[in-house]
Amino acid sequence: MQDTTTKTATTDTSIQRLERVFQLQKQAFLKNPYPSAQERIELMGRVPGMLKKYRQEILEALDQDFCGHSREQGDLLEIIGMFDRAKYNMDNVKKWMKPTSKSGNPITLGSAKVYLKYHPKGVIGNMVSWNFPFDIAIGPMLDQLGAGNRVIIKPSDLAPACGAVLEKMIAETFDEDQVAVVNGGIELAKFFPTLPWDHLIYTGSGKIGRLIMKAAAENLVPVTLELGGKSPVILDKDSVNEETFAEIAGIKAIKRGQMCVTADYCMVHESQLNAFRDGIVQYFKEHFTKDNGASYCCGIISNRHISRLESLLEEARKAGVEVIQIGSDLKEGERNMPFYIVVNPPSDIELMQDEIFGPILPIVTYKSTQDIIDFVNRGDSPLGLYVYSKDQNFIDQITGKIPSGGVSVNFMAFQASQPSLPFGGVGGSGMGVHHGIEGFREFSNPRGFFVKGKGGTLNSILPPYGKDTTHLINEVAYASLGKQLKFALQTLPKNLMARMFK
């Protein structure tokens, strides 16, 4: 009874704090709804120093939450990548903020100005996935600050140590009415999308994403959903080689497969199945057998996730599928699950239906290019589409006929790390993007401006209507092309003069 009461009190405190900070940021935004470029640059410029200062605490928190986490992966994937994103946004935000002139008819509008200007949306909520607890919190935040918004971040309760460090360093670096972190459990997660956000971003599973979108719809909140999916690696017959083995295994080893843009499964020509299977297995055995690759990877996030992955493997074994284990069985208290290669599993088992999100790599064979296209397109559009080939026609066929969030050719996953490229899904893999100018626009309101000038025929279209209106309708709009040209030649010079001397 005491434990339940304490848990409820903690949850209530988190929800109450979220409501308080939400109102605080709403009020602060209304006082400064269009921060200057310099204000935005200054805020984004705090991020690299913050991450450098908290580097050790970040790495220790990752190690604690994942029951072992490579320090190199922590540095590369959670910290250093943010340096480039911050710099790219800071270098370009002034340009992105400039009004964009739009075309207008000088005959009817005279010297009027028509333009688009991106304005901040307001207060944005970010529901962060556990697999990249710092990258997914801070990366979108840089876009959101660049767009002039206020931000509230909700870390995943599956990574509590990371959430605590994130809350601490954000509180030290930013005023609460600008950026805040609110930690909490399942009740906070359910409550978070019910607030009337000006925009909400969620990274995680498609199942939860649907619930988030449904809750946000009650307040007509626009959403960005990064949902992952089954990203295929498609190998042409000319690309089954040592270099490809190394790249696929290396990418799969990042976060031990717990990455939304990792290789979910590989497709190889049926004539090369044995060569690919033997080559990829040998590479994994050489590099990831000792301690199940613990020094290069991280642990599975929880025992529940280990059980889920093991059930996928058990279903495959019961279906008579070849399952190859690389590494030793898990020891009590550890989460360094071994890697597995699964050869030609049937498409109707769960392993091939849902995103794997772990150290399991199925191999599927094909006979023709059309087989590949049909197989991938039977499922949801993937977040990443990876093609290995030296044949441009093969590459064009695959990338042109299979929709996906992003594409990488002769490498994998790095389309998601480029500050200048939009990152996001399509269909079942999500909606909306972040990174770069597309991220700036995602979290902005594109406001259309019309400013009346001199000249034009605007007054003729307003009641009370008179002979000028009748002339405009009958002798211009419905007239022959010759009459329309005559009208244009009569009115255009004075309207152009009005533009020149406005």
For residue 268, the domain's CATH number is: 3.40.309.10
346 and 476 fall within a common domain: no
347 and 266 fall within a common domain: yes
* One-letter amino acid of 378: R
What integer pLDDT is reported at residue 19 of this predicted model? 97
163 and 255 fall within a common domain: no
In the three-class reduction of DSSP (H, G, I as helix; E, B as strand; rest coil), residue 265 is classed as strand
Residue 78 lies in a domain: yes
From 245, 262, 266, 244, select the one nearest 254 (Cα to Cα). Answer: 262
What integer pLDDT is reported at residue 106 of this predicted model? 77
Residue 4 lies in a domain: no
Burial category of 81 from C-beta neighbours within 10 Å (exposed 0-12, middle 13-18, buried 19 and up): buried
Do residues 91 and 476 make contact, with C-beta atoms less than 8 angstroms apart?
no
What is the residue-averaged pLDDT of the chain? 93
What integer pLDDT is reported at residue 8 of this predicted model? 45
Residue 429 lies in a domain: no
Buried b (16+ CB within 10 A) or exposed e, 160-183: bbbbbbbbebbeebbebbbbbbbb
What is d(CA 369, CA 95) in angstroms, rounded to the nearest whole number?
Answer: 43
Of the chain, the percentage scoring pLDDT greater than 70 comes to: 95
Residue 396 lies in a domain: yes
Q: How many domains does the chain have?
A: 3
* One-letter amino acid of 3: D
365 and 481 fall within a common domain: no
216 and 271 fall within a common domain: no
Do residues 307 and 297 make contact, with C-beta atoms less than 8 angstroms apart?
no
355 and 467 fall within a common domain: no
176 and 241 fall within a common domain: no
What integer pLDDT is reported at residue 6 of this predicted model? 39
Judged against a pLDDT cut of 50, whether residue 29 lies above it is answered with: yes
User: Residue 473 belongs to what domain range?
Assistant: 457-500
Work out the angle at residue 496's Cα, subtended by the Cα atoms of residues 490 and 499, and round it to the nearest 5 degrees.
Answer: 145
At 30, the pLDDT band (50, 70, 90 cuts) reads very high
185 and 48 fall within a common domain: yes
What integer pLDDT is reported at residue 5 of this predicted model? 37
Left if phi > 0, otherwise alpha if psi is -120 to 50, otherwise beta: which for 336? Answer: beta
Sign of CA dihedral 291, 163, 445, 148: negative
Lowest mean pLDDT segment, chosen from 26-35, 124-133, 326-335: 326-335
Residue 431 lies in a domain: no
396 and 493 fall within a common domain: no
From 280, 393, 425, select the one nearest 341 (Cα to Cα). Answer: 280
Q: Look up residue 183 and give its two tokens.
A: 């930690």
What is d(CA 432, CA 442) in angstroms, rounded to the nearest whole number?
Answer: 7
Our answer to whether residue 39 is catalytic in this structure is no
Name which residue leads in pLDDT, 460 or 96: 96
* One-letter amino acid of 123: V
Residue 123 maps to which CATH number?
3.40.605.10
What is d(CA 199, CA 185) in angstroms, rounded to the nearest whole number?
Answer: 22
What integer pLDDT is reported at residue 477 of this predicted model? 82
Judged against a pLDDT cut of 70, whether residue 498 lies above it is answered with: no
From 439, 434, 419, 438, select the one nearest 87 (Cα to Cα). Answer: 419
Do residues 199 and 121 make contact, with C-beta atoms less than 8 angstroms apart?
yes
Our answer to whether residue 297 is catalytic in this structure is no
357 and 490 fall within a common domain: no
Relative orientation angle of helices 55-65 and 37-53, to the nearest 10 degrees: 70
Give per-residue pLDDT as tens, 296-313: 999 999 999 999 999 999
Q: Provide the total of helices (H) and of strands (E) in the chain, helices listed first.
A: 18, 16
What is d(CA 161, CA 168) in angstroms, rounded to the nearest whole number?
Answer: 11
* One-letter amino acid of 12: D
Give per-residue pLDDT as tens, 442-469: 999 999 999 988 877 888 888 998 888 8
Question: What residues have CB less than 8 Å from 31, skipping those under 6 apart?
Answer: none
What is d(CA 21, CA 176) in angstroms, rounded to the nearest whole number?
Answer: 7
403 and 289 fall within a common domain: yes
Mean pLDDT, residues 107-118 taken together: 88
Q: Look up residue 197 and give its two tokens.
A: 């956000």
At 12, the pLDDT band (50, 70, 90 cuts) reads low
List the beta strands (DSSP E) in 344-443. Answer: 360-366, 384-388, 406-409, 430-431
125 and 274 fall within a common domain: no
Residue 1 lies in a domain: no
Give per-residue pLDDT as tens, 390-431: 999 999 999 999 999 999 999 999 999 999 999 999 999 999
Give per-residue pLDDT as tens, 134-185: 999 999 999 999 999 999 999 999 999 999 999 999 999 999 999 999 999 9
At 486, the pLDDT band (50, 70, 90 cuts) reads confident
Residue 30: how many CB atoms within 10 A of its CB?
9
Residue 52: how many CB atoms within 10 A of its CB?
12
Helix (H) or strand (E) holding 338, with range, is none
Do residues 181 and 191 make contact, with C-beta atoms less than 8 angstroms apart?
no
Residue 432 lies in a domain: no
The total number of residues shown for the chain amounts to 502
> Cα dist. 44→145, 357, 412 in Å?
7, 31, 29
For the entire predicted model, the pTM comes to 0.92
Please tell me whether the peptide bond between 464 and the residue prior to it is cis, using omega within 30 degrees of 0. yes
What is d(CA 389, CA 91) in angstroms, rounded to the nearest whole number?
Answer: 35
What is d(CA 46, CA 83) in angstroms, rounded to the nearest whole number?
Answer: 10
What integer pLDDT is reported at residue 190 of this predicted model? 96
Give per-residue pLDDT as tens, 317-365: 999 999 999 999 998 889 999 999 999 999 999 999 999 999 999 999 9
Question: What residues have CB less than 8 Å from 151, skipping those under 6 apart?
Answer: 123, 124, 125, 126, 141, 144, 145, 178, 179, 180
Work out the angle at residue 375's Cα, subtended by the Cα atoms of residues 132 and 284, and round it to the nearest 5 degrees.
Answer: 50
Which residues share a beta bridge with 355? none
At 488, the pLDDT band (50, 70, 90 cuts) reads confident
Q: Look up residue 223 and give its two tokens.
A: 């959403």
What integer pLDDT is reported at residue 496 of this predicted model? 58
What is d(CA 352, CA 222) in angstroms, rounded to the nearest whole number?
Answer: 31
Which residues share a beta bridge with 423? 434
Residue 6 lies in a domain: no
